[in-house]
A and B are shown apart, each in its own frame.
Chain A
Amino acid sequence: MFDNVWLIPLFPLIGFLINGLLGKKIKNETIIGSIGALAVFSSFIVSVLTFIKLIGLPSAERSVNIKIFTWMTAGTFNADIAFLIDPLSCLMLLVVTGIGTLIHIYSIGYMHGEEGFYRFFAYLNLFVFSMLLLVTGNNLLLMFVGWEGVGLCSYLLIGYYFHKKSAGDAGKKAFVMNRVGDFGFLLGTFTLFWWLGQNHGIWTIQFTELAKNANLFPTGGVVTVITLCFFLGATGKSAQIPLYTWLPDAMEGPTPVSALIHAATMVTAGVYMIGRMSFLFIRSPETMMTVAVVGACTAFFAATIGTAQNDIKRVLAYSTVSQLGYMFIGMGVGAFTAGIFHLMTHAFFKACLFLGSGAVIHSMHGALHHIHSHDDAQDMRNMGGLKKYMPLTYATFLISTIAIAGVPGFSGFFSKDEILWQAFSNPLHGSVNMLIWGLGAAAALLTAFYMFRLVFMTFHGTCRIKAGAEKHLHESPMVIVFPLLVLAFLALVGGYIGIPKLLGDVFGGIPNYLEHYLEPVFANANEYMAAHAHHAEHSHSLEWGLMGLSVVIAFVGIAIAYTLYMASPEIPKKFTSAFPALHRAVFNKWYIDELYDFMIVNPCKSLGRFLWKGFDVLVVDGIVNGVAHVVMAFGGVIRYMQTGQIYNYAWSMTFGVVVIIGYYLFK
């Protein structure tokens, strides 16, 4: 009944092929853009149909494998091109194709007039294709195909302005860091495949098969190894410590790319993967704790950096890293639904924020271009007071900011609060819970602060753009604003599908739709958790209290931002001059990039150079050439036996014959 599922990735692939092969000939931007957007939109339609079919099934049967063809078989190893449709993948399908469609539409406006317009849409379609493979693949290998595929598209799109060195560098950095993660993913796959096959004769990498046999896995031990490997993969793709540094640099790409790939979809692949493998992760307490702690640290750490950045997209990038940290907290504390929930809401509001910032940059760029100024169009210090020029953008941006800050009633509140509550109350990590929750809460405060700092600096206050440019500022065309409106709407209401039970009860028993919907996916993990962990009872009043605290934190953050950037803007400057070292460190992202360069990149290069010049050329070739030289030297000595006098040759020849014959005679 899901026979048409293969159409979902097929449409973007067709779009990619058309735009990639013929785009240069088509030339007409509208046609190219429409093809791109239509391809993704068609996928969206099929996804919706699939979703409707899926929820028409009883919840126990909501997991369907659709095999297309056998990919490779060698010995015990078998991998198919096959899709898995279950609630989780279906949700991801909707998010990817839905937001993907909006961003494609947005891009038609945003990329207008860019060189290589067709190339952009081809890559974007290819990205959607890969992402769809990632979320629908029914085995680890196919997921890995998507996993690497999105990495590739990310590389291509970050390096879209390839003539800029920084863009090329950023693309390469993203790809290589992702590769480090992929290394972990591969090792995890191998270990999983080998261990299960070797010990239980089940040679499989298919998710449903693995989940079925989840009980064969022990607690900890090999599972910790496997899951840590997978988690390394997730940190690469989802920009967590220690592999997060590529994401801020990835902002070199066009803004729609940042919205689609580096906020809404690709970077959440790690979260999705952990959700997909939840039955395995839950069996390793060590890994769960690692995931949660890394998530919490990343959430906090990235948030601190976010407070000091002036580039509008960089702030959003660090915010993304930080929010991804939240999702990992959710995963790490066993609140898989909450993690996925945050993934979804984050996709809405962060996509909206990025697209909004894109609209701002677009407008700024146009205005600055008009007056031939070379000011940075992305620097917030050049903005301010934009709300009167771009009211719609401002409105959508504000809604999303409120959502991310965690103000009640907006989507971010529900998902973030759920994660924080679970971090506090989960039965897995004992006293470490306090650390996780503490970091999470602190990050929430910082988030509210830097996001509103962003809003205030960009849209409020006096207009700091170079004089004469402000009259060129204008609201963006409809093709850009429309996606913003849709996303803002989703950011506003998206949270209501996952209202916590506590609140739902208050409002007349609204169920947590999302939790029910995702239940079959995480059933195995939840059962295991129920059986193994001591569920401490927490009172409703505590939960209410923490929820209240979250709200307070959000407002405090907003208030601080208001005080510092609206009421008395001189304070930040004073602060900066009071603690110059601290500010410098934060502004320079704690010098992590430099540290990596110093510790890994440079040693590798010097080692390579040493091995080449030292070992290859000196030792190996030295030996080879040395042998040659010895032979030559020897020959140099004995060549004087070649006198050039024929009688010498004749004599020695006769002598040789005599000796040989003599030998046989006297033998």
Chain B
Amino acid sequence: MDISSVFFALVTVVAIVSALMVVTCKNPINSALSLVLTFFCLATYYAMLNAPFMAAVQIIVYAGAIMVLIVFTIMLLNIRVDANKKSSHQVALGSVMGIITLLLAGLFLTRGKVMQPVGGITTDMINKLGHTELIGKVMFTDFLLPFEVTSILLLVAIVGAVILAKRKLS
């Protein structure tokens, strides 16, 4: 058992515990903070997978932007945790479904066969050229159109968000 395996196990424990806390915490703020932790764990995974750019984006976009937005919303709405009110229901049914999902995923893992590597991207290449440059090349050549379309999506989302939040439904 080398050091990296230990590190991986450690991160995994943190990730899973924090994920469980997202689901179980009564106070949404606690859930949100746990989720931030999970995101950090994922960023660590990305780094371990030789994808430093993705790790950076993960932290900036998810932990930085989305989670801030969520926390901001929670604060804005100022939801009080009502002790009398149950914060969850259908726990049994939902858990069963979650476990079935897990089992299915497990079946996939045991039965599935993994393809041999097809691309030419190796660790050496990434180390030599830099992950950002590689991603950038692919993004602005092969995926240029989807990339541009994404910008429209974001624009639409902004407009939609403004309109939705502004209007009082009758």
Contact = CB atoms under 8 A, between A and B. Distances in A.
Interface string B150-162: 0000000000000
Q: How large is the interface on A (under 10, 10 to 19, 20 to 34, 35 or more residues)?
A: under 10
A667 to B, nearest CB: 11
B103 to A, nearest CB: 9
Interface in A615-667: 647, 651, 654-655, 658, 661-662, 665
Given A651-B97, A665-B111, A658 B90 contact: no
A441 B97 CA distance: 107
Contact of B89 (A647, A654, A655, A661): A647
Secondary structure call for the A interface: helix
B104 A651 contact: no
Contacts of B107: 665
B111 A647 contact: no
A662 B108 CA distance: 10
A118 B94 CA distance: 90
A658 B89 contact: no
A651 B94 contact: yes
A658 B90 CA distance: 18
A661 B104 contact: yes
B104 A658 contact: yes
Nearest to A658: B100
B164 interface: no
Contacts of A662: 104
A493 to B, nearest CB: 98
A651 B108 contact: no
B72 to A, nearest CB: 23
B93 interface: yes
A665 B93 CA distance: 22
A651 to B, nearest CB: 6
Contacts, number: 20
Nearest to A661: B104
Contacts of A665: 104, 107-108, 111
Interface string B41-60: 00000000000000000000
A579 B130 CA distance: 128
A597 to B, nearest CB: 65
B73 interface: no
A277 to B, nearest CB: 80
Interface in B62-113: 89-90, 93-94, 97, 100-101, 104, 107-108, 111
B105 to A, nearest CB: 9
A461 to B, nearest CB: 93
B104 A647 contact: no
Interface in B98-150: 100-101, 104, 107-108, 111
A659 to B, nearest CB: 10
B93 A654 contact: no
A647 B111 CA distance: 31
Nearest to B104: A661
A654 B104 contact: no
Given A665-B104, A665-B111, A655 B90 contact: no
Contacts of B100: 658
Contact of A658 (B94, B101, B108): B101
B101 A651 contact: no
B90 A647 contact: yes
Contacts of B97: 651, 654-655, 658
Contacts of A661: 104
A356 to B, nearest CB: 86
A654 B94 CA distance: 10
A631 to B, nearest CB: 31
Contacts of B108: 665
A662 B94 CA distance: 18
A647 B90 CA distance: 9
B147 to A, nearest CB: 29
Contacts of B89: 647
Contacts of A654: 97, 101
Contacts of B93: 651
B111 A651 contact: no
Nearest to A666: B107
Nearest to B89: A647
Contacts of A658: 97, 100-101, 104
A658 to B, nearest CB: 6
A651 B101 CA distance: 12
Contacts of A651: 90, 93-94, 97
Contacts of A655: 97
A655 B96 CA distance: 10
Nearest to A654: B97
Contacts of B111: 665
Nearest to A652: B97
Nearest to B90: A647
A272 B100 CA distance: 96
Interface in A420-468: none
* Most central of B93, B97, B107, B111 by chain A CB within 10 Å: B97
A20 to B, nearest CB: 64
Nearest to B94: A651
Interface string B3-36: 0000000000000000000000000000000000
A652 to B, nearest CB: 10
Contacts of A647: 89-90, 94
Nearest to A657: B101
B27 to A, nearest CB: 20
Contacts of B94: 647, 651
Nearest to A662: B104
B95 to A, nearest CB: 11
A665 B111 CA distance: 9
A665 B90 CA distance: 27
A658 B107 CA distance: 12
A658 B89 CA distance: 21
Nearest to B101: A658
B106 to A, nearest CB: 11
B91 to A, nearest CB: 11
Contacts of B90: 647, 651
A655 B111 CA distance: 21
A85 to B, nearest CB: 81
5 contacts: A647-B89, A651-B93, A651-B94, A665-B108, A665-B111
Given A647-B94, A658-B104, 5 more contacts: A647-B89, A651-B94, A658-B100, A661-B104, A665-B107
Among all A-B residue pairs, the 7 with the closest Cβ atoms? A654-B97, A665-B107, A658-B100, A661-B104, A647-B90, A662-B104, A658-B101
